[in-house]
Amino acid sequence: MYRVMLIDDEESARKLMRASINWESLNMEVVGEAASGIEAINVIDDMKPDIAFVDISMPFMNGIEFTEVATKRYPNLIIIIMTALDQFEYARKCVSLPVFEYMLKPMVRSEITEVLERVKKRLDDRRSDNEDGAFENELSGDMESSSVEQIKKYIENNYTDSKLNLTSVAQHFGFSASYLSRKFKQETGKNFVEYLTECRMNAAMKLAHTGMKMFNASSEVGIPDPNYFGRCFKKFAGISYSDYVASNHNS
């Protein structure tokens, strides 16, 4: 099964797409969604998609910016850009990006299916050529436990970089992402993404004590999408950021 990720700020658009396409017949499954480029960067390493549908117009980090980052980090990822008519020319300016296809919104099922069939063919060919998938690693190396400490340090120093994720850290240290992820979990007992988020949330809680607004705190800690930040915070702290600020303020 090929893994598909939907990146679109429009929740209903994601839902519609997930529901309207007969993924199984294409030997595909939707493994995840993201409502912004920021969220996508944070979760993509967990989802390990082969195919990504990217909406051009998204707040905080638009589809083009995300595509630029993604094509560098995941050269085998197949990216399909989705754009409304009024942004189509802007999208066309980015044709230098190795994008599989540009599609005009609102999209029709038959068109999506047609494109996906071509994608499937490409991936089938690749698989028969024994090429690696987007998240299969070729890099490997032995990692000292001290390296994990180094990595933790690196995360603590760089978590404000909104583009930081498992793959970028792995590339920085010269490991494969999956190896690093495995090793990291072994050494620390925590997922890499969990650890990164923890770092950021701890920082955010400190900021919350100062009464800082959520949208400011979110960009301070490297998640400039306050919607995604809000979800992360609630998951981490159990209450919403604003409630957390309010309760702290009261006490």
Partner 1 sequence: MEKTIGNTNRIQTKNSLSLRLRLVFIFIILILTVAFAITIFLVMRKERRENVLHESESVLVGLSDSIYSDIQRYKELSRLVMIEDRLVKFLRADTDEVNNVLINSARRGILSVLNVTTMVDSVFIFRNDGQYFATNRGKYMLNYIRMEQKDWMEKIINKKGRAIFCINADDAIYKTNGGPIITISRAIHDVVTQERTGIMCMNISSTFLEQKVITLHNDDIVVIDTTGAFLAGNEELIDYFDEDFTTENLVHVEKMVDNNDVVISGMKIPEMPIVIMSVTHVRKGMVPMETIGILAFLMLVFVAAVFFVGAFITRNITSPVFELTKHMEKNRENGTLEKIDVNIPDNELKLLEDSYNNMVDHVNDLFEDLIEKEQTIQKAEMRVLQEQMKPHFLYNSLETIGYLAMDAGADKVHSALETLGGFYRNFLSKGDREIPLKREIMIIKDYLSLQKLRYGDIINDEYDIAPNTEECKIPKLILQPLVENSIYHGIRMKGEQGTIKITSFLEEDELHIIVRDTGIGMTQEQIDKVLSTEKTDASDDMGGSFGLWGTIERVRCYCDKDDVVRIRSDIGEYTEIEFILDAHTNIFKGVNDDRKIDGKAS
Min separation Cβ 227 and partner 1, Å? 5
Sites for partner 1 among residues 231-250 (CB under 8 A): 242
3-state secondary structure at position 83: strand
Which of 25, 140, 216, 247 touches partner 1 (CB under 8 A)? 216
Q: What b-and-e string marks burial along 33-70, b requiring 16 or more CB atoms within 10 Å of the CB? A: bbbbbbbbbbbbbebbbbbbbbbbbbebbbbbbbbbbb
Dihedral angle at the C-alpha atoms of 96, 161, 80, 56, nearest 10 degrees? -90
Instruction: Please state, in angstroms and rounded to a whole number, the distance separating the CA atoms of residues 209 and 201.
Output: 12
Q: Which stretch binds partner 1 (CB under 8 A): 5-13, 26-34, 86-94, 139-147?
A: 5-13
Q: How many residues bind partner 1 (CB under 8 A)?
A: 16
Q: What b-and-e string marks burial along 200-222, b requiring 16 or more CB atoms within 10 Å of the CB? A: bbebbbebbeeebebeebbbbbb
Regarding 213 and contact with partner 1 (CB under 8 A), the answer is yes
Regarding 218 and contact with partner 1 (CB under 8 A), the answer is yes
Regarding 203 and contact with partner 1 (CB under 8 A), the answer is no
Cα–Cα distances (Å) from 71 to 13, 193, 216, in that order, read: 24, 20, 29
Regarding 229 and contact with partner 1 (CB under 8 A), the answer is yes
Min separation Cβ 13 and partner 1, Å? 9
Sites for partner 1 among residues 154-173 (CB under 8 A): none
Q: Would you say how long the chain is, in residues?
A: 251
Cα–Cα distances (Å) from 128 to 74, 112, 131, 193, in that order, read: 20, 24, 8, 32
Instruction: Please state, in angstroms and rounded to a whole number, the distance separating the CA atoms of residues 53 and 4.
Output: 8
**Residues with Cβ < 8 Å from 180, sequence gap 6 or more?**
143, 151, 166, 169, 170, 173, 192
Q: Which stretch binds partner 1 (CB under 8 A): 72-80, 155-163, 165-173, 226-234?
A: 226-234
Amino acid type, 54: V
Sites for partner 1 among residues 6-35 (CB under 8 A): 10-12
The two structure tokens encoding residue 181? 């992820």
Q: Which stretch binds partner 1 (CB under 8 A): 40-48, 108-116, 170-178, 213-221?
A: 213-221
Nearer to partner 1, 49 or 226 (CB): 226
Regarding 214 and contact with partner 1 (CB under 8 A), the answer is yes
Regarding 227 and contact with partner 1 (CB under 8 A), the answer is yes
Nearer to partner 1, 86 or 138 (CB): 86
Sites for partner 1 among residues 42-81 (CB under 8 A): 59-60
Min separation Cβ 11 and partner 1, Å? 7
Min separation Cβ 159 and partner 1, Å? 19
* First-to-final CA distance of the chain: 52
Q: Which residues bind partner 1 (CB under 8 A)?
A: 10-12, 59-60, 213-216, 218, 225-227, 229-230, 242
